[in-house]
Structure 1
Amino acid sequence: MTKTAQKLSAEQAYAAELDQLQQQDTAPVPPGWAMSAIAVERFICGDSALGISRKFVAEAGVVTRIILSLCTQRGILLTGSPGTAKSWLSELLAAAISRDSTQVIQGGAISNLSQLLYSWNPQLMQLQGPSQQALVSTPLYRAMRDGKILRFEEITRCPQPLQDAVLSILSERILVVPELPSAQSTLYAVAGFNIVATANSVDEGIQRMSSALKRRLSFEHIKPIRHLDDEAQVILQECNKLMAVNQIKVEPAPELIQVLATIFHELRNGQTLDGRSTDRLAGATMSTAEAVSVAHAIYTHAYYYQQSRPDATLLLHVLLGSALKDQPKDRRRLRHYVETECAERQGEYWQSLYQQRHLI
């Protein structure tokens, strides 16, 4: 039985586009990069003339500033609310610059220096002592050695001493392994190495980030998608990807995607599309990523329960799981939104929400 991967890395999923951009790239290429800064931006933001798909939606100038920071060998920290695709952007950057987005450290999963820098194989240490063969490399070590981008996810969730350990690496671009002989003890970062870190702006940990580390990183705040049509397109595109991976064959319903995008957009901003104030949920992010999950859940239900199209009555049940978290008052806010905003709106999904408001 042949099994398929649940998710391909960006460099695997978009290998054809990366190859095309590299072959047609005539702009200057920074040392250690797989392609020029212009080609990296085209890969991320898309280029219809070249047939390159848009993979990330951001305000003008955001991606350019990030790429320029990496060109100057200054690390970047992507901050923002959960679900704004910071991790996805870091993966795209690593895929385009290094053709390898797999050098990843999860800040919340490491607690000591050996997990961050390097460790030792105990059996080989007993046989031959400290040596290159006995050294167990980490993603940080491999990124420095091979000249690749290191993705440091949720950097503010790792202890501050570990954050401080990154300081000399960002400043001096070296990693010292004192256990090895002096000729082998210093690892010099190869051209192309840099760090793309992420942090949720709602996490308390971001307030405890090392001041010295802050000075060595450029900051870029990633905001939620501003325009409704862009958000609806992203939801449909990402939902189609998930359905393709899971072999779910259901015809997309544009009306459902538009309704979802509108609900998440309005509840996130606390304002309707025509400018009136409305409720804002306190316990849920109502992010684009969450909207993708809701749409995917509805399509999955339709497929496995053999419905020809997504059932409008399912929308509210799936939405409740995303909108109602740990804030009891959000239930009242969501019901008020449905009662005041859905009543006058036309369409099967809007009216189904209104008719089921008693379930909230």
Structure 2
Amino acid sequence: MSDMLRAPAEIKYADELDYLESVDTGPKPSTWRLSPRMIRTFVLGSEPSDGLDREIGQKWFGERGIVERAVVTLASDRGLLLIGDPGTGKSWLAELLAAAVSRNSTQVVQGTAGTTEDHIKYSWNVSMVIGRGQSRESMIPSPIMTAMETGTIGRFEELTRSTSDVQDALISILSEKYISVPELEGQDGIVFAKPGFSVIATANSRDRGVNDLSSALKRRFNFVRIPVVTNKASEAEIVRFRTEELLRRHQIDLEVPPTLLDVLLRSFGDLRDVAATAGSDDQRLESALSTAEQIGVLEDAVLHGTFFGQRTLTATTLGSSLVGSLARRAPEDSAILTKYLTNTVKPRSEEEGGEWPEFLAGGLDTLKALA
């Protein structure tokens, strides 16, 4: 893993997956590496009632029912669509599920405006076609086709960002479970999906209206909605867990003080309240104020303090990072943050003290620099 900037889940947690597979006696689909119960344990962590002789850490923080519905869907003939606001952990859950089911989470298609039908079916090695003609050897299978041929999980990120033509091409894959290759004849002209194949797609609920899914495609998916985390304790645990992972990746040995984590959580909570009561888009931040963005703010502050500060996290740096990360539009976002710091944080710093005065100073200084 030291040679990888970011190891996929099946490599990062290979030891846990090996252990769970060795003790797994539960019923499972024939090609799955783990049973549904063990997949739930891998994703949500172990409990004393599981009877395991080692602890399995929690990796995704959400309701048990969401994970169970997702796993049941993968065991059926339908695709799984994880839908929710930005930063709710859709992609991370999809990666964990693919790693637990087939020990391969890297068969991914990223949906964009430039995604074509070739990206989900196949393309050709032009030099081999010129030299030898079209054949299975000269074909370049897409990640989805590879998943079909190996009976594993294929992933499609940001499905609603891709065009309707690409979405339509996915319909036949999900319903017929094969891909026709008209350029080839005989058995080579059809690629059939093997048992165990399924597709996990994600969709951003804020992209509604970009490229809406057709009714036909919707029928091929089971929808599992990932809600925004509203419980402060759960959100604090997510931020702490992901930040610790990032610090280990950067090989930084630094503790995040609970008081500063509380400042970050309360600030995002305040700004979400502002967004909820805003009368127009100009009165709310462009940022979705997601849990993922909180993690980004905290990582930025930690790295800045490590490389340019006293190798510690301070409230001043945290305030500066929050403003620097969230002030994306000028002058709209700057005005919203100025109003928030002046009308909410300043009275709080005078009343509560603690980390708030330095947090206020860091935020205001950065706003001045951006002006």
Give the whole-Å Cα distance in 2 for the aligned partners of 1:222 and 1:91.
Answer: 15
Residue matched to 2:263: 259
Contact 2:316 2:361 survives alignment (8 Å): no
Give the whole-Å Cα distance in 2 for the aligned partners of 1:3 and 1:15.
Answer: 14
Give the whole-Å Cα distance in 1 for the aligned partners of 2:72 and 2:195.
Answer: 16
TM-score (normalised: structure 2): 0.88
Residue 177 of structure 2 is aligned with which of 144, 152, 173?
A: 173
Distance 1:357 1:11, change over 3 A: closer
Residue 314 of structure 1 is aligned with which of 308, 313, 317?
A: 317
Contact 1:315 1:349 survives alignment (8 Å): no
Residue 284 of structure 1 is aligned with which of 287, 299, 305?
A: 287
Q: Report the secondary structure of 2:222's partner residue.
A: strand
Residue matched to 2:110: 106
My pick for the range that moved more, 260-269 or 39-48, is 260-269
Residue matched to 2:30: 31
Structure 1 alignment gaps of length 5 or more: none
Deviations 1:310-345 (A, max 9, x none): 122112221012322237444343334333443335
Residue 338 of structure 1 is aligned with which of 337, 341, 346?
A: 341
Amino acid at match of 2:355: Y
Deviations 1:4-30 (A, max 9, x none): 311100011111111111112121111
Deviations 1:161-214 (A, max 9, x none): 110011111011111112222122111101111111011111145552222111
Give the whole-Å Cα distance in 2 for the aligned partners of 1:196 and 1:287.
Answer: 22
Contact 1:235 1:261 survives alignment (8 Å): no
Distance 1:205 1:329, change over 3 A: same
Q: Report the secondary structure of 2:358's partner residue.
A: helix
Residue 302 of structure 1 is aligned with which of 305, 310, 329?
A: 305
Kindly state the Cα deviation for residue 140 of structure 1 after the two structures are TM-superposed: 0.9
Deviations 1:200-254 (A, max 9, x none): 1111455522221111111122112121111112111111111111122323222
Kindly state the Cα deviation for residue 351 of structure 1 after the two structures are TM-superposed: 2.2
Give the whole-Å Cα distance in 2 for the aligned partners of 1:220 and 1:239.
Answer: 26
Deviations 1:288-323 (A, max 9, x none): 111111111111112112514212211222101232
Amino acid at match of 1:296: E
Residue matched to 1:10: 9
Amino acid at match of 1:136: I
Give the whole-Å Cα distance in 2 for the aligned partners of 1:327 and 1:268.
Answer: 19
Give the whole-Å Cα distance in 2 for the aligned partners of 1:327 and 1:312.
Answer: 24
Amino acid at match of 1:303: T
TM-score (normalised: structure 1): 0.91
Give the whole-Å Cα distance in 1 for the aligned partners of 2:321 and 2:121.
Answer: 42
Deviations 1:104-152 (A, max 9, x none): 0001164332222111112221222221111111101100000111110
Residue matched to 2:167: 163
Contact 1:302 1:309 survives alignment (8 Å): yes
Alpha-carbon RMSD across the aligned residues, in angstroms, is: 2.4
Residue 153 of structure 1 is aligned with which of 135, 157, 163?
A: 157
Give the whole-Å Cα distance in 2 for the aligned partners of 1:327 and 1:56.
Answer: 35
My pick for the range that moved more, 74-83 or 205-214, is 205-214
Residue matched to 2:357: 351
My pick for the range that moved more, 333-342 or 157-166, is 333-342
My pick for the range that moved more, 197-206 or 149-158, is 197-206
**Pairing of 1:33-48 with structure 2 (within 5 A):** 33-48=32-47
Distance 1:353 1:303, change over 3 A: closer
Percent of aligned positions that are identical: 37
My pick for the range that moved more, 178-187 or 345-354, is 345-354
Kindly state the Cα deviation for residue 85 of structure 1 after the two structures are TM-superposed: 1.2
My pick for the range that moved more, 325-334 or 312-321, is 325-334
Amino acid at match of 2:252: I
Contact 2:316 2:363 survives alignment (8 Å): no
Q: Report the secondary structure of 1:348's partner residue.
A: coil
Distance 1:281 1:55, change over 3 A: farther
My pick for the range that moved more, 131-140 or 327-336, is 327-336
Residue 80 of structure 2 is aligned with which of 73, 76, 79?
A: 76
* Deviation beyond 6 Å, 4+ runs, structure 1: 277-280
Q: Report the secondary structure of 1:208's partner residue.
A: coil
Amino acid at match of 1:239: T
